């Protein structure tokens, strides 16, 4: 790791005076499996050596042997806190390759789902910052709300955590009245809990003392490390993929990009809090202006036909067979598509040589990228701050190791 | 002589049992209070409303495999929880659990022993309690345990100073170290004989004392020695089975004793308002007084839990700053203030 090699011990001491602490691979604070060997001077971290790859699942290699529609479940397992964003990002990448025009209604429905996913992602992250400072109660409040979102997913696609939501071209079915009812319920209940959670922590003296100035990163360093998402915005750069290169009709919506100042734990916390409020407003706008129309585009090569058609229609039967067997060929090409994931710019770099599977697929995983800065961010801080830094960056093992 | 020994034996046994029972049900209460504050149900499987949960927990602890790490100092590893438990139980000796009762014309005091240095005794015993944690953390030969033990010892020693200084102000006012006498001075209260509890005269001292009591019991926001997100289990990371149970239990007993001491020193102990205006006989008032004392204790235990499930914890250096730069100067200021006021009054 380049970052670690660059770090020289701050205080010159004899080697035997330091102690080494293994933070992980399994530690209550790592929220996943990755290791940090900390070189400690008492409680102060002098140096750290991160090791990742404990749950490496070779997703990029796996994807080279899988038909396009079967890659969606792999993307679930990247950032599992906001799986729908990954799914829909992947669908959009394939649609970009195929050059499919997506109905406006589908785009709006996707926006609703993606913003719900962003809320769940930020909600977990902020609740866990609370837990790592010792305030467990807010975490439980927020988790109940995540449950409501998962029920919405369940109503739409049948799954909860690893959603595999939607299809290439749209959604497998339209949102049911019950799903809308659940979304309305969430929109009604969540803001109350969010404000309650906010009032529990954001002006709490102990919490502010703990988080302000802890684990900070400057704008220059954040940009050099190629930070994106809330972590970059907390440092003070208003880069958001939703605005910089709008996808799925994000240009239709009116929202604010919250920006922090110091890039410390508190700023990251506050940026995520505000983003949740903005996401709520986007969902409301999308629901208000939801256009009528079909819930999927016409892409018979990828969109599974209705069962009735399969039984009664020759064409549909052929497409059904080809999709299920994964024998659909795609045009040659090279596309990059990125979406604003829970943690930042989630990119899909896809090269197709015209076969049934991608020739090469690379996931730009924001977590993997900003975790490189972790040793630098915790150097010289105390153990408690290191834990907080980790949780406030929202390091998710699934996204760290593809 | 035999009658005296029997009476003391019975008293010791009763207080020992009550302490253990309250500590056991504090664990249950903790989970129920947490559930209440977090919109959950809490334990409700063992018995009606889950009231047998502490028994189930205890049984589980006993039946768990006991692991003593090979690299540990085995003797000290066993001593650690023993010391923690022993000191926790010993502190209850000097607390006056009630006034006297007359049985068959003889007067029996509801206190195991009324030492004239009662508060000092409590402090001494609580100070030894640090050793339980230190020895346990050190002998485990685990870095997380060691860090927890270092934090615990530094924290408890620094907060003991502020606590002691807070008490000095109280002693200046009351002129005695005996817990019984301090309680008796607060007798009466509202009603015929106008009198206030010490908390009215010593608000600052009380505040310092209760904050330090939180730190002494290793409760949030001072639960650094065992903060699970950083140090896994803190000083008891390597412990399993009933030895772990002892540590956890000792914490609850400490909480109970702290609540009892707070009630006694600052909230009138077994005294309650209008106690001399109800026209009840002495025995009756003593019994009600004991119940009232326990009610106060339960309230403080609830207070401990309420705080725990509401606010985050400090960082190690912030904790030290609070202890040395805020609590101790405040306590010294409190002493000076009390000394000046009592000098002015007794002039």
Q: 10-residue block means of pLDDT along chain B (347 residues)?
A: 84 87 88 88 85 88 85 84 87 82 77 82 86 86 84 85 88 84 77 73 87 84 74 80 86 89 86 74 82 90 88 85 89 90 81
Task: Give A-chain residues touching B313 at CB under 8 angstroms.
Answer: 133-134, 206
Per-residue pLDDT reduced to its tens digit, A138-180: 888 888 889 899 999 998 888 888 888 888 888 888 888 999 9
The residue of chain B with its CA nearest to that of A383 is B230
- Is residue A12's pLDDT more than 60? no
Place of tokens 């006021």: B341
Of A259 and B91, the one with more pLDDT: A259
Task: Give A-chain residues touching B312 at CB under 8 angstroms.
Answer: 130, 133-135, 201, 204, 206-207, 210
Task: Tell me whether A202 touches chain B (CB under 8 Å).
Answer: no
Task: Give A-chain residues touching B232 at CB under 8 angstroms.
Answer: 27-28
Give B60→chain A minimum CA distance, Å. Answer: 23
Task: Tell me whether A287 touches chain B (CB under 8 Å).
Answer: no
Give A130→chain B minimum CA distance, Å. Answer: 7
- Is residue A1's pLDDT more than 50? no
Place of tokens 């007993």: B253
The candidate with the shortest Cα–Cα distance to B65, out of B241, B232, B326, is: B241
Task: Tell me whether A212 touches chain B (CB under 8 Å).
Answer: no
Give the pLDDT mean for A30-46.
83
- Please give the Cα distance from A338 to A342 (Å, whole number): 12
- Is 0.95 surpassed by the pTM of this model? no
User: DSSP letter at B108?
Assistant: E
* Cα atoms found within 13 Å of the Cα of residue B308, Cβ hemisphere only: 23
Query: According to the model, what pLDDT value does residue A119 have?
Result: 92
ipTM above 0.90, yes or no: no
Q: Given an 8 Å threshold on Cβ–Cβ distance, is B229 in contact with A132?
A: yes
Task: Tell me whether A264 touches chain B (CB under 8 Å).
Answer: no
Place of tokens 């939180």: B214
How many CB atoms within 10 Å of residue A58? Answer: 11
Q: Given an 8 Å threshold on Cβ–Cβ distance, is B314 in contact with A210?
A: yes
The residue of chain B with its CA nearest to that of A140 is B38
The residue of chain B with its CA nearest to that of A391 is B229
A206: nearest CB among B39, B228, B312: B312
The CA distances from residue A371 to A84, A211, A310, B279, in Å, are: 22, 19, 48, 73
Give the number of domains in chain B: 1
Query: According to the model, what pLDDT value does residue B308 have?
Result: 86
What is the band of A5 on the pLDDT scale with cuts at 50, 70, 90? very low
The domain A59-400 having CATH identifier 1.10.645.10: the answer here is yes
- Longest distance between any two alpha carbons in chain B, whole Å: 66
- Please give the Cα distance from A108 to A293 (Å, whole number): 11
Within 8 A by CB and 6+ apart from A127, the residues are A138, A139, A141, A142, A143, A197
What is the band of A192 on the pLDDT scale with cuts at 50, 70, 90? very high
The candidate with the shortest Cα–Cα distance to A278, out of A247, A243, A248, A244, is: A243
The candidate with the shortest Cα–Cα distance to A361, out of A331, A336, A396, is: A336
Q: How many CB pairs under 8 A join A and B?
A: 74
- Return the CA Rg of chain B: 21
B312: nearest CB among A28, A130, A144: A130
Of A14 and B186, the one with more pLDDT: B186
Q: Which of A5-9, A27-31, A232-236, B226-230 has the highest mean pLDDT?
A: A232-236
- Is residue A219's pLDDT more than 70? yes
- Is residue A237's pLDDT more than 80? yes
Task: Tell me whether A43 touches chain B (CB under 8 Å).
Answer: yes
Domain of residue B228 covers 2-345
What is the band of A277 on the pLDDT scale with cuts at 50, 70, 90? very high
Give A144→chain B minimum CA distance, Å. Answer: 9
- Please give the Cα distance from A23 to A35 (Å, whole number): 6
Task: Give B-chain residues touching A387 at CB under 8 angstroms.
Answer: 229-230
Q: Given an 8 Å threshold on Cβ–Cβ distance, is A136 in contact with B311?
A: no
Within 8 A by CB and 6+ apart from B281, the residues are none
Arithmetic mean of pLDDT over chain A:
86
Per-residue pLDDT reduced to its tens digit, A122-141: 998 998 888 888 888 888 88
- The strand pair at A44-51 and A333-340 is best described as unpaired
Residues of B with CB under 8 A from a CB of A: 34, 37-40, 143-144, 147, 220-221, 223, 227-230, 232, 309-318
Give the pLDDT mean for A87-100.
90
Query: According to the model, what pLDDT value does residue B133 have?
Result: 86
- CB A385, CB A363: distance < 8 Å: no
CA dihedral B220, B225, B231, B236 (to 10 degrees): -110
A140: nearest CB among B38, B143, B227: B38
Query: According to the model, what pLDDT value does residue A3 have?
Result: 43
Query: According to the model, what pLDDT value does residue A349 have?
Result: 92
Segments in chain B forming alpha helices (H)? 2-37, 53-63, 74-90, 118-139, 143-174, 179-185, 198-201, 203-216, 228-231, 241-266, 282-308, 316-321, 328-345
Residue-range domain boundaries for chain A: 2-51, 59-400
Three-class secondary structure of residue A324 per DSSP: helix
Give A206→chain B minimum CA distance, Å. Answer: 6
Task: Give B-chain residues touching A19 at CB under 8 angstroms.
Answer: 143
Task: Tell me whether A44 touches chain B (CB under 8 Å).
Answer: no
Per-residue pLDDT reduced to its tens digit, A42-86: 788 888 888 888 888 888 888 888 888 888 888 888 888 888 999
Give B28→chain A minimum CA distance, Å. Answer: 17
Q: Given an 8 Å threshold on Cβ–Cβ distance, is A204 in contact with B311?
A: yes
Query: According to the model, what pLDDT value does residue A191 have?
Result: 92
Contacts 24+ apart (CB under 8 A), B278-284: B282/B99, B282/B100, B282/B101, B282/B102, B283/B101, B283/B102
- Please give the Cα distance from B214 to B249 (Å, whole number): 16
Mutate to test the interface with A, among B215, B315, B325 (most CBs of A within 10 A): B315
């Amino acid at each position: 790791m380049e970052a670690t090699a660059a770090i020289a011990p701050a205080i010159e001491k004899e080697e035997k005076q330091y102690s080494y602490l293994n933070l992980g691979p399994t530690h209550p604070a790592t929220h996943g499996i990755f290791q940090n060997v900390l070189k400690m001077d008492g409680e102060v971290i002098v140096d750290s050596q991160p090791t990742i790859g404990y749950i490496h699942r070779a997703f990029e290699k796996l994807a080279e042997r899988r038909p396009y529609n079967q890659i969606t479940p792999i993307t679930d397992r990247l950032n599992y806190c906001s799986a729908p964003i990954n799914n829909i990002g992947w669908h959009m990448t394939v649609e970009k390759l195929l050059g499919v025009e997506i109905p406006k209604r589908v785009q709006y429905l996707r926006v609703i789902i993606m913003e719900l996913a962003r809320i769940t992602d930020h909600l977990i992250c902020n609740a866990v910052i609370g837990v790592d400072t010792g305030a467990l109660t807010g975490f439980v409040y927020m988790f109940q709300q995540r449950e409501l979102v998962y029920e919405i997913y369940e109503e739409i696609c049948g799954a909860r955590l690893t959603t595999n939501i939607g299809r290439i071209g749209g959604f497998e079915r339209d949102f049911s009245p019950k799903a809308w009812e659940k979304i309305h319920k969430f929109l009604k209940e969540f803001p109350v809990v969010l404000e309650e959670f906010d009032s529990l922590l954001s002006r709490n003296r102990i919490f502010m003392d703990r988080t302000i100035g802890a684990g900070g990163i400057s704008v220059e360093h954040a940009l050099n490390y190629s930070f994106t998402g809330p972590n970059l915005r907390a440092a003070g750069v208003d880069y958001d993929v939703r605005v910089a290169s709008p996808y799925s009709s994000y240009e239709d919506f009116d929202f604010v990009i919250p920006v922090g100042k110091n890039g410390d734990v508190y700023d990251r916390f506050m940026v995520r809090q505000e983003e949740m409020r903005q996401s709520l407003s986007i969902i409301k706008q999308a629901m208000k202006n939801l256009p009528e129309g079909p819930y999927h585009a016409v892409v018979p090569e990828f969109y599974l036909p209705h069962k009735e058609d399969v039984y009664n229609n020759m064409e549909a039967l052929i497409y059904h067979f080809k999709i299920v067997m994964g024998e659909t060929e795609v045009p040659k090409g090279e596309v990059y598509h990125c979406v604003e994931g829970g943690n930042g710019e989630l990119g899909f770099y896809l090269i197709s040589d015209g076969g049934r599977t991608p020739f090469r697929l690379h996931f730009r995983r924001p977590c993997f990228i900003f975790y490189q800065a972790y040793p630098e961010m915790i150097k010289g801080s105390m153990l408690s701050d290191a834990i907080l830094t980790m949780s406030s960056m929202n390091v998710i093992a699934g996204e760290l190791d593809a | 002589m035999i009658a005296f020994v029997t009476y003391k034996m019975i008293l010791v046994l009763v207080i020992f049992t009550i302490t253990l029972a309250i500590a056991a049900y504090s664990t249950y209460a903790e989970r129920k209070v947490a559930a209440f504050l977090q919109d959950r149900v809490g334990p409700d499987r063992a018995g009606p409303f889950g009231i047998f949960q502490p028994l189930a927990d205890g049984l589980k602890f006993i039946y768990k495999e006991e692991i003593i790490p090979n690299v540990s100092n085995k003797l000290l590893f066993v001593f650690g929880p023993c010391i923690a438990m022993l000191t926790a139980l010993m502190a209850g000796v000097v607390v006056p659990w009630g006034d006297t009762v007359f049985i068959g014309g003889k007067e029996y005091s509801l206190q195991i022993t009324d030492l004239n240095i009662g508060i000092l005794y409590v402090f001494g015993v609580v100070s030894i309690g640090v050793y339980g944690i230190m020895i346990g953390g050190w002998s485990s030969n685990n870095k997380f345990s060691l860090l927890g033990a270092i934090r615990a010892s530094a924290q408890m020693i620094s907060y003991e100073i502020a606590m002691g200084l807070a008490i000095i102000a109280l002693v200046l006012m009351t002129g005695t170290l005996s817990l019984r006498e301090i309680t008796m001075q607060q007798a009466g209260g509202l009603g015929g004989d106008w009198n206030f509890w010490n908390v009215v005269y010593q608000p600052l001292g009380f505040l310092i004392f209760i904050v330090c009591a939180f730190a002494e019991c290793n409760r949030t926001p001072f639960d650094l020695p065992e903060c699970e997100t950083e140090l896994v289990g803190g000083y008891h990371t390597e412990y399993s089975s009933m030895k772990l149970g002892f540590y956890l239990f000792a914490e609850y007993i400490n909480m109970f004793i702290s609540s009892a001491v707070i009630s006694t020193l600052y909230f009138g102990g077994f005294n309650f308002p209008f106690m001399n205006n109800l026209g009840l006989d002495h025995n009756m008032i003593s019994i009600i007084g004991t119940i009232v004392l326990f009610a106060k204790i339960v309230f403080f235990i609830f207070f401990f839990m309420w705080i725990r499930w509401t606010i985050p914890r400090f960082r190690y250096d912030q904790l030290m700053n609070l202890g040395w730069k805020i609590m101790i100067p405040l306590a010294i200021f409190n002493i000076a203030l009390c000394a000046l006021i009592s000098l002015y009054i007794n002039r």
